[in-house]
Amino acid sequence: MSEAEIGIVLLSLKVAIWCVIVSLPPALLIGWLLARREFYGKTLVNVLVHLPLVMPPVVVGYILLVTLGKRGFIGSWLFDTFGISLIFNWKGVVVATAVMAFPLIVRAIRQAIEAVDQNLETAALTLGRSPALVFLTITLPLILPGILAGATLGFARALGEFGATITFVSNIPGETQTLPLAIYSLLQVPNGEEMALRLVILSALLAFLAIALSEWLARRSIKGLESRA
């Protein structure tokens, strides 16, 4: 592998890891709310969360550009107040991939929470445990496989994200050019097919390893829960 290829892979991994780190806490909160609470506007929240799944990624990227760009109403405030700019750098790639991966992570976590027997939580509450302690000691261990599945899906989605990324932060080598963007660029230049093929194989290998790791961790967590029972 050339130095350029290594840089592309490392940037893609960095973006995917940060995408999962940034997405998991709010995804856990939203997934719990959608699974356990009834509130006004729940349907609207559910629709907004899942919109990136059905909208063209280019549309999502355009929305991010007009809201988080330097002239956007949020982006201009971030830049003027904190000097933070999300366009044309890797942080913007993290934002774009996180938005696209968020519905998958929320969906996996919500389904895991809905599968938990609420009688276990109710029994713990009647024994005097606080709701927070019940969540940490009962709910969270039981939904760990779902969290791992969601994290894996988010990681893989971040590795494969293209449309929203190129629309929001462009395709800048060494700064925003992740694996899919690099493959696209190589297919547009003469004699770029060989390097593109190597990156395609690497992308497939990384996705395979991520899913295999998730399955292994999920099996370990399930065995751990069964041993406690």
C-beta separation of 175 from 89 below 8 A: yes
For residue 228, pLDDT over 60 is answered with no
Measure the CA–CA gap between 218 and 53, rounded to whole angstroms: 25
Task: With CA atoms as reference, report the closest residue to 91 among 5, 11, 185, 7.
Answer: 11
Domain ranges of the chain: 3-228
Mean of the pLDDT values across residues 170-187?
Answer: 91
Q: Please choose, from the candidates 8, 5, 15, 20, the residue with its C-alpha nearest in 3D space to the C-alpha of residue 148.
A: 20
Query: What's the predicted TM-score (pTM) here?
Result: 0.89
Asked if residue 30 has pLDDT above 70, the reply is: yes
Q: Rounded to an integer, what distance in angstroms lies between the CA atom of residue 160 and that of residue 5?
A: 16
Which is more confident, 225 or 1?
A: 1
* Chain mean pLDDT for the chain: 88
- For the segment 48-86, what is each residue's pLDDT rounded down to a tens digit? 999 999 999 999 999 999 999 888 889 889 888 888 888
Please give the pLDDT value at position 65: 93
In this predicted structure, what is the pLDDT of residue 18? 96
Residue 202 and residue 200: Cα distance in Å, rounded?
5
CA–CA dist 71, 63 (Å, integer): 12
Of 181, 163, 162, nearest in space to 172 by CA: 181
For residue 19 the two structure tokens come to: 């995408």
174: left (phi over 0), alpha (psi -120 to 50) or beta: left
Superfamily of domain 3-228: MetI-like (1.10.3720.10)
